[in-house]
Amino acid sequence: MTKALTVRTTTGPASPGTHERIRKHRWAIAALPLAAAAALMQVPVAQAVEWQALPETAPAPADNPTTPEKVELGKMLYFDPRLSSTGTVSCFSCHNVMEGGDDHRPTSIGVHDQVGGRNAPTVWNAAFLSVQFWDGRAASLEDQAKGPIANPIEMGMPNLEAAVKRLKQIPGYAPKFKAAFGSKAQISEDTVAKAIAAYERTLITPNSPYDRFVKGDKKALTAQQQKGMRAFADVGCVACHSGPNFSGPSLPVGTGFFMKFPVFADNEMVAKYRVLDDGGKAAVTGKPEDQNMWRVPTLRNLAYTAPYMHNGAVKTLPEAVNMMAVTQLNKTLSEQQIADIVAFLEGLGGEFPEQTMPHLPPTPGDMLE
């Protein structure tokens, strides 16, 4: 007989008190010696799990409320390759919203066919992350939107001012910015970033089989997926992948939820997948305590986002589940456990809002050399 799920479910975010307890628990783990932290992560947690459905709308900051005009402009900018030095790379190039929100390459290709160092994370549900990028270096979607434009490998503009100057050369953009930000609005670094972020906050995928299940539809998940849901909790995956987005607890914007990867390095997986080749957050901060610390990614829509991990070294979802059990929990899962967890993860695939290509304003003939 299949054991019934007995975990607590909710359709909304956890209470502030719950968030505070989770934050304190997470920070306490981070402060412990590695072996002790790992031991804590292996404690059975099924009875403590608070399963949460993804909200129907993403939160927006007070200084950048989401409006239809802003979303329309942000969508244009998201698809516009003229924000790159060569006029060939846009946000869409690496984050394809016609599919999984990434580009399916181990690492992305930017201007002049340069290859980046990390896998492109999906843009779907990024609005629910409290920090952006694998290393958490951007506090918000607005901050994140500015990064790739001036990155020499990605979009290759010398600076953001150059991107703003180029947009001002395109007459069709000025009225769009005024419609989005007011009659006195100017094309600026901030208004560009705010518009892109507003569009990205519409890129959410609620109403997955899992979401329907935790809202009360007990037939939304198959028997195997429910079995995988129990295994996901019992094995310890929820120590990192909790909350409605399965990327950790809902924290204030700018407060990142990080975890050491790998926790257990004495195994063949670490070398096989080159896990230690990139220092993670330490590459940004230079702090020894940030070595191999990574922002915990979402687990939603994983069927659409292979290959996996920060370097795209893991090609399949069963492989990813097995690898994470070994490196993070020091556990070897059976083939059945892996299959059940994979089935559950596939139940996190939500409904994608319909996307259409925007019509962009014309390009002056002397803009691109």
Active site members: 154
**DSSP for 38-69?**
HHHHTS--GGG-EEEPPPSS----TTS---HH
Distance between CA atoms of residues 20 and 27, nearest Å = 11
Distance between CA atoms of residues 279 and 286, nearest Å = 9
First and final C-alpha spacing in the chain: 69
Per the rule left: phi > 0, alpha: psi between -120 and 50, beta: everything else, 360 is: beta
Omega of the bond leading into 106 within 30 degrees of 0 (cis): no
Sign of the C-alpha dihedral computed for residues 239, 221, 53 and 67 taken in this order: positive
Distance between CA atoms of residues 352 and 100, nearest Å = 9
Contacts of 322 (CB under 8 A, 6+ apart): 333, 338
How many residues in the chain? 369
Distance between CA atoms of residues 67 and 180, nearest Å = 8
Distance between CA atoms of residues 240 and 261, nearest Å = 11
**DSSP for 91-113?**
HHHHS-TTTTSS-SSSS-B-GGG
